[in-house]
Structures are given as C-alpha cells and as structure tokens.
Structure 1
Amino acid sequence: MESTWLVLVSLALGLGVGAGFVTLLYAAERHGRQAAEVVNPAVPDGIDQVLDALESAGVVLDPSNNVVKASPGAHALGLVWNRQLVHPELLDLVADVRRTGDARAEDLVLSRGPFGDASAHFRVRLATLGTRYVLLLADDHTEAFRLDEVRRDFVANVSHELKTPIAAVGLLAEALDQAADEPVQVRRFADRLMGESRRLARLTQEIIELSRLQAQEALATPELVDVDAVVADAIEQNHVVAAAAGISIVVGKKTGALVYGEQPLLVMAVHNLVANAVNYSSNGSRVGVGVRRHKGAVEITVTDQGVGIPEVDLDRVFERFFRVDDARARNTGGTGLGLAIVKHVVQNHGGDVRVWSQLGSGSTFTIRVPEAPLPLTPPPTASAATGEPTP
C-alpha cells in the first residue's frame, strides 16, 4: 500500500515538472518570436516601392531607431550612415513623433554626412508608419536658399549702384539751376550730367542684358558665327578709347573658326574683355587679342600689360558688381557687371572663361567655346552650255 502511494506521488510530481517545463518552453518560444519581430527589418508592404518612387530622400526607422529602409537619396545627402541617422536633431524629431503620434515638419540646417563640413538646408517631414515604424522624408533646399540669397544680394547691389548716379544727377541738376547765369559753369555741369546719364544708361542696359542671359531662352536663335568677325567688331568698338590712351591693340592672324551662337552676344563678351584690358592698362602699353582652334574648341584670348589682379581676387572677378579696384573702376565708368556678362554669355554658348594674372605683369582672359563643324562644300553643278561640271 505504501509503495503504491509512493508511485502515485512520484507520478504526480513528474507530471507537474513536465507541465512546468512545457510552459517554460512555450513562454521562451513566444518571447523569442516577439524579439524577432522587434528586430525584423521588414517594413509594411509597398513602402519599398513608395520610397523608390519619391523624389524626396526617405528613411524608415524601427522602434530602436535602426534604419530598416533608406532610399538612395538619403545616403547621397548624408542623412544615413551605418544603418543609423547621422544627425541628433533628426533623432530628437523621431522621438517626439513617437511620443505624440503627430506628424512633424521642420526646416533644418545639417551637415552633409558624418564627416562633412558643408552645411545644407533641409525640409524634413516625419510621421508614424503603422504602430512601430517612423517614416522620415527630407528635401534638399540648399540651392533654393542659395538662389534666394543671390537674388537678395543682386537687388541690394543694384539699389546701391543706382543710388550713386541718380544722386549725382539730382545734385548736378540743382547746380545747373543755380548757375543758370554762368555759361562756363553751365557747360561744366552739363558735361558731368551727361556723363552720369550715360553711366546710368549703361548700368541699366547691362542689368537688362545680364537678366536676359540668365534666362533659359538666351540663345533662342543660334546661327553659325565667324569668330574672326566677332573679334574685329569688338576691337573696332574699343579703337577710339585705346587710341586716346596711346594703347595699341594687336590682333593675331585670322583662323576661319566658326561657332554656333548669337553674334551680338559674342561681340559683347569680347568687347567687355578688350574694354577691361584697355581700362586697366597704362598709357602707351599694348593689348593682344588672339584666336586659335584647339581640340574641338575655339579659344579667344585677351592679354594686357596692366596692373594685374591679386591672387585672392581671381575667383571673384566674374561675380556681379565685384571690382578689383573700386575707385579706378568708377573713374573709368565701370559698372562691375562686364565680366559677369562675359561669364554668362560664354556659359550659354556651352563654353567657359578662365583668367591668369600676376600683379604688375598684366592679365590674360581666355574664352573657350565649342567649335562648329565646317560646312560641307556643295557638289559641282553641270554647266547649262557644255553639260560639264563647273569647278
């Protein structure tokens, strides 16, 4: 009897231990399945295709802020590195969206990548994706900010540049009124008034030209242009001023080079370079203008023996309203737009412009534009009288 009781007790204990072991196994399996779900990098169906189709950089983050999906744009903009968001500012926004459940949109200035120094302007939007993920979308607005700054600077510069001649015209008009009975003074003030008027007209015209060049339709009607003729026209426009200063303009031999574009614009660009060379050269010096065909390009070079440009200013000479010597530029009637116009004319013709300079030795500006293929020679035609081909 006693042995039977012991057997029953042992059986009961065995069943209890077995049931407990099974329960532990089930709990462990359930905990493992939940853990696997937490680290599972899969995102809701269709998100991959949506991110790939968006122009915005897209990132999906799991509850541990691991990046489980990132579009190529997110990597290219330096937002994601090593499956993590690079910027703490973005992680703070992600935490706020998780806490409140509300979508957020912010404008941020962030570095490009974990090691980059350059800043970029981003428009960032975040929202929950299901119950576990957060979706982050970012658009790079750096170029828009840059263009807006350029626009503001341009307006400010134009206002400043127009203020001087307009004020001068007003003062000279008053002086003329007060000197009405003094013919000599009237003539002197009238000459100065005409000079300021011409300067104002030239500045206004160059602003209009620069605005047109920055438009997409700047080369609406390109045609075949003879570069030798362009150079000849530009030199002719500067001949009187150069001769008055005893400056000789030396031209290289003709090349017969042709380019596609607008002849008036190319003449204006070369004219501006020659005018600069004359204005910044000492009396009795020489300005050289040459054309050559080189590796599918036509190069127009203007060299002077003037004061030269400091090395620190070489990268800025093509900026609008930038002057190396502000006082001298004003004395010569310079507007600060001439080289900016050259740059845009050349860029609109598919080329570039470069400068070399050394203080005290002069400067060399080189325009380079693609060369147009030579026109084909027309086939010989038969002579009506002889039936033979005409030469």
Structure 2
Amino acid sequence: MSRRRGAAAGAGVSRSDDVATDAGSGADPVSRTLPPGAGAVLSVLSSTTIVVDPSDLVLSASPSASAYGLVRRNVLVHDEIKRLVREVREQRVIREETLRIGRGLSEPGDDGEPLVMVVRVAPLDEHHVVILIQDRTHEQRVEQVRRDFVANVGHELKTPVGGLSLLAEAVLDAKDDPAAVERFASRMQVESRRLGRLVTDIVDLTRLQAADSLHEPRRVDIATVVREAVDSTAVAAESRDIAIDTVVEPGLTTFGDEDLLVTAVRNLVSNAVNYSEPGTRVAVRAARRGETVEVVVADHGRGIPLAEQDRIFERFYRIDPARSRATGGTGLGLAIVKHVCSTHGGTVSVWSQEGKGATFTIRLPLHTGPDDDGGEVDPEDDGSAESADLGTISRAARNPPTDARGRPEIPSTTSDQGARTA
C-alpha cells in the first residue's frame, strides 16, 4: 500500500504544474488518493494549494507552489510550513501565520526581498492536510508606501509650519522694530509660499494616484503645453541668466488633460533651470516619433549620479535636500511627472551623467483622430520642415550628442516655422 501511495504521489508531483487544475478531472491518478470532492474544490481556489499525505508526501500542488520554491519533486521543503503541518496533525486545529518566504527559482517578485505569504493550514480529512497560501507581497508594499507617504508628508509639513510659528513669535517680539518686522514678514512669505507649493503638489499627486482614468480627456496641442510650461518658468530662468531654447514640431497633439501635461512639462523645465549653472542654456524640444510624441528637456547642470537615477521619481526623494529646499523644491515634482505620464498612457525617462547635465524625455501617444472641431489631424504631417533641428531628439534621451567638454550639446534655436525662443 505504501509503495503504491508513494508511486502515486511521485506521479502526481512529476506533474505538479498541472495537478491543481486536473485534480478533480479524474485524469490524474493523484486525484484518486484525495478525499472525494477535494480535487474539484481545490481546482477552483485562487490561492496556492498544497495537499500532503500522512507521510508528508505532496499529493497535489498548484503550479505556483513550485514557482515559489515550496515544493520540489514530491517534497514540501519550507521548514516553517512543515512546522505548521506538524502542529495541525498533532492538535487537529487550523493554523494561520504570515511568513516571509525566500523566493524560488522563478523569482515571481520584482526584487530580491522575501515574499510575504499568509499561510493557512488545516486538516482536509483524517489523513490529509491542506495548505492554502496567499501572496500578500504587493499589498504589504502598498501599505508600506502609504505609511511612508504619511510619515513624509508629516515631516515635510512640519518644517514650513514650524518655521512660520517661529517667525510669528519673532514678529511679536520685534513689534517695536519696523526693520526687523519687515525682515521677518518677508521670510514668512517665503515659508508660506513653500507650504502652499507643498500642499498643492500633495493634492495633485494624491489626485493622480487615486484616478483610474482621466476626467473628460480632450485633444491637447503640444505646442500650447510647451509654451505655457516655458512661460511659467521664464522669470526664474531670467533671474539666473539661463536661456530656454524651444523647438516644437507643428501639428503635434495627444489626448488627455492639458493642465496636467503643462504641470508635468513645467516641472521638468523648472528643475532644469534650478539645477543649471547660471549663464547656460536649457533646451525644450517636441517632435513626432512614429505614433509617439516626444517632449525632451535637456540642461547643462551638474547631472544625476547613476546610483540615484532609479529613485529620482520616488515621492519626496531628493539627491541634494539642502539645494532642493533652497530652490523651493518639494520633492514631489518628478513623482508628479511620472504619474501624469502614466495616466496618459505614456512614460518618462532620464539620461544623465555627473557634470554633463540631464535629459528628460516624456513620451505620449500621438493623437491622430478627430479634433474638437470635427476636423482631422493630418497623419502625414511628420514635421519635415523641422527635421534638421529635431533629428537628434530621440538620441538625446539615450545618449545625447556632446560638446568639446563632453556635456550634452543643446542646439541653438533658429527662426524656422514652429520654433519659439523664450
């Protein structure tokens, strides 16, 4: 009997990737060792399932059990789960624990962190034990992000609020000194503007993350988006003697929310201005690439270290916190850019080397359908009149051409049709 049962179990495990769905079909000899009806029930469960016999041989296992590295051949190999099985056999109770489980050969997660699994073990009948496993790694990660966000918001709000409180006390103490009152009031304005920017960015980002889709999307003219984004940063650029060169291929449109797209491009241009050296240039280019619109913002700033580039789109992440606060940054600008692009079915990428500036590229789906007037956007208009100026844009996102000093080369703006210099 034990030899037949072992052979059956071995046969079942040799097909462990198929057992879960075939358990109730009668096609697999393993199903004959399970309690009546158990195979049919197990086959419809969304959880990872494992059934073991009194010898702890695996009779049935869903494909994910092997993928997670919990079952090898016909053996349950995870020590903590085996402990739970023993306790259930001895005590005839149902046990549930949350375990952190190392990844199996297929590494189903995104990184090297252990998987968070809710493991429930229960008697299936007098002889068999069933193990139900749910992967909660994603939910745990989302919850951790939420907690981090709340903590970061509290920390970021504490700084300007605390500053305003101290400055208000200073104003009261200096009420008989008009010059001191004026100085403290000026600083209060700075902190209040910073607080206002932070609250606005938090609200914008929260709204973007909560939205499954755009509200009343419309055809958006890319030239308008770029113009408004550049205009809003012109004063800051002029104060630092930074020229913004703009070239936009005519007739480019996408489908979405104009205000959100202006915010995304403005954030990139503002960052380029804030992190560029005085007297340099920032380039803003927009062009069609196949069925995609590319908006590229390049600067001659200090660049972004390679080790930091994977994190710059995280909320509240700052490479240089002191400089970011000095320039009025909230640490949310690039996170907002990322979410705006995602909401529009697009992407944002960065190329950068330390000392050679940074190039950010937004890619959005090209809109070639009827416009709001009932007209059509000409799909044949590829902006050929601008091709001489725009031919390097796609390369710029990956490996921009460099000048004699090895920094990204930003071509000067011409007066060609569709180009605008700010």
TM-score range, shorter chain: 0.7 to 0.9
Aligned 1:60-71 pairs, distance under 5 A: 60-71=51-62
- 2:39 is aligned to 48
Question: Which digits, 9 at most, give the CA deviation of each residue in 1:172-211, with x for residues without a partner?
Answer: 1111112212222211111110110010011011111111
Q: Which has the higher contact order (CA 8 A, sep 6+)?
A: 2
Counterpart among 110, 115, 128 of residue 133 in structure 1:
128
Native 8 Å contact 2:276 2:302 kept in 1: yes
Amino acid at match of 2:4: A
- 1:153 is aligned to 148
Is it true that 1:328 corresponds to 2:323 in the alignment?
Answer: yes
Deviation at 1:375, TM superposition (A): 2.8
Amino acid at match of 1:214: Q
Rounded to whole Å, the distance in 2 between the matches of 1:332 and 1:34 is 75
Question: Which digits, 9 at most, give the CA deviation of each residue in 1:272-317, with x for residues without a partner?
Answer: 0000000001111100001111131111110000111111111111
Rounded to whole Å, the distance in 2 between the matches of 1:114 and 1:263 is 46
Native 8 Å contact 1:105 1:126 kept in 2: yes
- 2:265 is aligned to 270
Native 8 Å contact 2:68 2:105 kept in 1: no
Deviation at 1:255, TM superposition (A): 3.2
Native 8 Å contact 1:81 1:114 kept in 2: no
Counterpart among 115, 136, 139 of residue 120 in structure 1:
115
Secondary structure of the corresponding residue to residue 89 of structure 2: helix
- 2:198 is aligned to 203
- 2:208 is aligned to 213
Secondary structure of the corresponding residue to residue 282 of structure 1: coil
- 1:15 is aligned to none
Deviation at 1:64, TM superposition (A): 1.8
How many residues are paired up? 347
Aligned 1:294-309 pairs, distance under 5 A: 294-309=289-304
Rounded to whole Å, the distance in 2 between the matches of 1:346 and 1:368 is 8
Question: Which digits, 9 at most, give the CA deviation of each residue in 1:314-334, with x for residues without a partner?
Answer: 111111111111111111111
Secondary structure of the corresponding residue to residue 200 of structure 1: helix
- 2:4 is aligned to 36
Kindly report the root-mean-square deviation, in angstroms, between the aligned alpha carbons of the 2 structures: 1.8
Rounded to whole Å, the distance in 2 between the matches of 1:135 and 1:206 is 49
Is it true that 1:290 corresponds to 2:273 in the alignment?
Answer: no
Secondary structure of the corresponding residue to residue 214 of structure 1: helix
Is it true that 1:224 corresponds to 2:192 in the alignment?
Answer: no
Deviation at 1:50, TM superposition (A): 1.6
Judged with a 3 Å threshold, the aligned counterparts in structure 2 of structure 1 residues 102 and 291 are, in CA distance, closer, same or farther, namely same
- 1:102 is aligned to 93
Judged with a 3 Å threshold, the aligned counterparts in structure 2 of structure 1 residues 378 and 169 are, in CA distance, closer, same or farther, namely closer
- 1:26 is aligned to none
Deviation at 1:215, TM superposition (A): 0.7
Secondary structure of the corresponding residue to residue 224 of structure 1: strand
Judged with a 3 Å threshold, the aligned counterparts in structure 2 of structure 1 residues 218 and 93 are, in CA distance, closer, same or farther, namely same
Native 8 Å contact 2:302 2:355 kept in 1: yes
Is it true that 1:91 corresponds to 2:82 in the alignment?
Answer: yes
Amino acid at match of 1:255: P
Secondary structure of the corresponding residue to residue 324 of structure 1: coil
Rounded to whole Å, the distance in 2 between the matches of 1:350 and 1:84 is 45
Native 8 Å contact 2:233 2:269 kept in 1: yes
Counterpart among 340, 346, 349 of residue 351 in structure 1:
346
Deviation at 1:38, TM superposition (A): 6.4
Rounded to whole Å, the distance in 2 between the matches of 1:357 and 1:378 is 40
Deviation at 1:82, TM superposition (A): 1.8
Deviation at 1:378, TM superposition (A): 5.5
- 2:355 is aligned to 360
Native 8 Å contact 2:68 2:106 kept in 1: no
Native 8 Å contact 2:308 2:319 kept in 1: yes
- Over the matched positions of the two proteins, sequence identity in percent amounts to 47
Native 8 Å contact 1:310 1:358 kept in 2: yes
Rounded to whole Å, the distance in 2 between the matches of 1:375 and 1:329 is 42
Rounded to whole Å, the distance in 1 between the matches of 2:93 and 2:294 is 60
Native 8 Å contact 1:212 1:218 kept in 2: no
* Structure showing the higher helix proportion among its residues: 1
Native 8 Å contact 2:314 2:334 kept in 1: yes
The TM-score normalised by the length of structure 2 is: 0.79
Counterpart among 220, 242, 246 of residue 241 in structure 2:
246
Judged with a 3 Å threshold, the aligned counterparts in structure 2 of structure 1 residues 378 and 331 are, in CA distance, closer, same or farther, namely closer
Deviation at 1:114, TM superposition (A): 5.7
Judged with a 3 Å threshold, the aligned counterparts in structure 2 of structure 1 residues 79 and 290 are, in CA distance, closer, same or farther, namely same
Secondary structure of the corresponding residue to residue 112 of structure 1: coil
Judged with a 3 Å threshold, the aligned counterparts in structure 2 of structure 1 residues 248 and 378 are, in CA distance, closer, same or farther, namely closer
Native 8 Å contact 2:249 2:288 kept in 1: no
Rounded to whole Å, the distance in 2 between the matches of 1:114 and 1:311 is 29
Deviation at 1:34, TM superposition (A): 6.2
